[in-house]
Structure formats: structure tokens, C-alpha cells
Amino acid sequence: MAKDLLILGLESSCDETAAAVVAREADGSGRILSNVIRTQVDEHAAYGGVVPEIAARAHVEVLDGIVAAALTEAGVGFAYLDAVAATAGPGLIGGVIVGLMTAKAIALVAGIPVVAVNHLEGHALTARLTDGLDFPYLLLLVSGGHSQFVAVKGLGDYERLGTTIDDALGEAFDKTAKLLGLPSPGGPHVERLAASGRADRFDLPRPMLGKGSLDFSFSGLKTAVRHAAESVAPLTEADVADLAASFQAAVTDVVAAKAAVALDRFRETTGIARPVLVVAGGVAANKAIAAALAQATASRGARLIVPPLNLCTDNGAMIAWAGAERVAAGRLADRTIGDRFAAARARWPLDERIAPKIGSGRLGAKA
């Protein structure tokens, strides 16, 4: 018999330390009671990217306080919880260990089960929390470490339709920003400058466009940006803005075109007349890409769901919700202790039935 559940979720796979309390009602609906996130942008700013050792130490220093803040905001204590969920991978292994071991300690003291959550499953299931979405639906996960289309058929049933074969989209944004001398994280800075630049000034490639494949490749585009920058060096502010605009236009064209193809294939295989495309990951915040995806879904008679930005980037609420879904479905190694003996994993693809590709599920990949 279904029952109400209260789950604490911990996330520490990269450079956000997060904890949240989520309630799952017996009817399957959910409510976020708290969602506390502490970013490490300042700690890594001087290095142009996330430093794994610094990230892990920062998680150790603040996670206890983040958990306490999440419980206080939710107005509950450990005694009220039905389970504690934590990201067990993929991600920076040091950070994953911090979160997972903390969850195991809480579970042992509170006498509740642990749910070891795949970070990508957290992203995949978020729309069920925010929009009450039913299975199946199409997921586009675009972040610093992942760019992939996934058919979300059911809890634990995921089919990867396409993925990156080199750089992920968020990684391409960050590397382009670094090449142009912009601060880290680079995505927001590229988007800001692109708004004032000429997108037609530099003729950049649209990798793997028109080939019918749902895979992504952004490494060549990044190289093309470097060659274009070298051709007009030394760069002026206008040059940087035009390069940012040209790069953003290229990736937007690729993502929108592949989304249209993915929707067509998803409709053909499922028979769903009006499929749903869910977009998750930090790149979902890019307004140009979001607008292009809205147009692509509208042209295909599909529906687009983009959860609130604080639930698209790394957060504890999505981990708590994924844990709640698994507890409700009885998907635990042991109903009493749950996944208390689960190991941290640097690599953990959503679709474990298909062979990984270069760039997919790499060590330290950020979702």
C-alpha cells in the first residue's frame, strides 16, 4: 500500500554541495520542503575549472552544515525521515565519497535505509517532481560533462539515443570562454557577450548536422573558434563578442536540429502523438538554446518542459526525489538498510546496456 514518504537528499558530485528534503505523497505527487545549495565557484575561479581535490575538501568542510540547514528549513529532524538518498556517481570520486559516506552515517544513526542514486537519474526524473510527468518521455541532458538524448521509459529503464563523442556542450562553452579570455564558469559569459555580437561574422561548422545521427561532437567546433580567433588576433572586444555569438549560433543550430530528429524518432517508436521533451543540466539556462528548443518542439507538435533553473543544475532535491521514487517502488537492495553497502562510482551511465562512447561518462564528468 502506497504511503507518504519524507526523504533527505545529498548531492556532492562536482562543485556544488547540496542537501534537500522532499516529500512524496501516496498519490505520487511531490513537494520540496527545502533545497539548500552551496556553490564552490570562488574556490575554483583562479584555476579556470574545477579542481577535484579542492572540491572534495570543500564538501567535507560544509556538508554537515548544509544538511542541518536543509532539515531546519524543512522543519523536520532525522526521526521524521523515511530514507536518506545520496549521489553515488557519476562524478568526481572524492566528492561522491563525501556525500555517500555522510548519507550512510546518517542512515546508521537514524535507523533508516540509504538510497544510492545515479546523478543522471536525478536529472532524468526531475520533471516528474515539478510537472507530475508520466512515463515515457524524451530527455535532453546538456551540461558540463554530458550531452545526450535519453528515452525515459520508466524508473530505471533508460535508453540512450545519442551522446557526445568528445566534448560535452557545457565543456565546449567553458573551453571557448577560456580561449576568449573569459572567466570561469564560461557559459554565462559567452551567452552575455553573444547578445551583443554578430552571429554571422564567422562561418563556423555545425558538427554532425544533417547526418541523421543523434550523437554530438563539439571538439572540432572548438578548434574552429580557435582558428577564427587566431585569424583576427589581437582580439578586440567586438571580435570576442562576434566569436561568442557565432559559436553560440552554431551549437544552437545543432542542438535544435537534433532535438527535432529525436522527437520524430521517439514518436515513431512510442506511438505518442504529442511527445514531451524534458531539458536538464546547466546549459538549459542558455536563453538562445531554450528558445530554439521551444521552436523545434512546437514545429513537431511536441511539448517542452524545462524545470526551474535551480533544479536543472546540481541540487539535492532531484536526488531526494529520485530516492523517493525508488523507495516507493521498492527498488532497494534491502528494504531495511537499503543500499548501505553501495560503492561510490566515478562512472555510471544511465543506460548500462549500451557501450560507452568517447566522452560519455568520463571520470569527473559533471552533470
Amino acid 47: pLDDT: 84
Question: Per-residue pLDDT for 3 more than 90?
Answer: no
Same domain, 45 and 122: yes
The length of the chain is: 367
Same domain, 156 and 203: yes
Q: What is the mean pLDDT of residues 53-73?
A: 97
Task: Let me know if residue 111 belongs to a domain.
Answer: yes
Q: What is the pLDDT of residues 114-135, one digit of tens each?
A: 999 999 999 999 999 999 999 9
Instruction: Give 358's pLDDT tier (boundaries 50, 70, 90).
Output: low
Reported in sequence order, the residue ranges of the chain that DSSP labels E, i.e. its strands, are 5-11, 16-24, 30-39, 83-89, 114-118, 137-142, 147-154, 157-163, 276-280, 303-305
Same domain, 41 and 162: no
Task: Let me know if residue 355 belongs to a domain.
Answer: no
Under a CB-based contact definition with an 8 Å cutoff, are residues 124 and 367 in contact?
no
Task: Let me know if residue 346 belongs to a domain.
Answer: no
Same domain, 284 and 317: no
pTM of the model: 0.93
Same domain, 159 and 230: yes
Q: What is the pLDDT of residues 18-40, one digit of tens each?
A: 999 999 999 999 999 999 999 99
| Interatomic CA distance for residues 36 and 113, integer angstroms | 22
Task: Let me know if residue 163 belongs to a domain.
Answer: yes
Q: What is the mean pLDDT of residues 340-357?
A: 90
Same domain, 67 and 122: yes
* Number of structural domains the chain divides into: 2
Q: What is the pLDDT of residues 201-230, one digit of tens each?
A: 999 999 998 878 999 999 999 999 999 999
Same domain, 98 and 187: no
Residue 137 CB neighbour total at 10 angstroms: 24
Q: What is the pLDDT of residues 223-264, one digit of tens each?
A: 999 999 999 999 999 999 999 999 999 999 999 999 999 999
User: Any idea which of 149-153, 281-285, 288-292 has the lowest mean pLDDT?
Assistant: 281-285
Nearest to 87 by CA among 121, 129, 124: 121
Same domain, 160 and 96: no
Same domain, 111 and 139: no
Amino acid 46: pLDDT: 82
Task: Let me know if residue 360 belongs to a domain.
Answer: no
Provide the domain limits for residue 276. 135-308
Same domain, 161 and 283: yes
User: Any idea which of 103-117, 214-228, 344-358 has the lowest mean pLDDT?
Assistant: 344-358
Same domain, 84 and 53: yes
Same domain, 92 and 75: yes
Q: In CATH, what number is assigned to the domain containing residue 229? A: 3.30.420.40
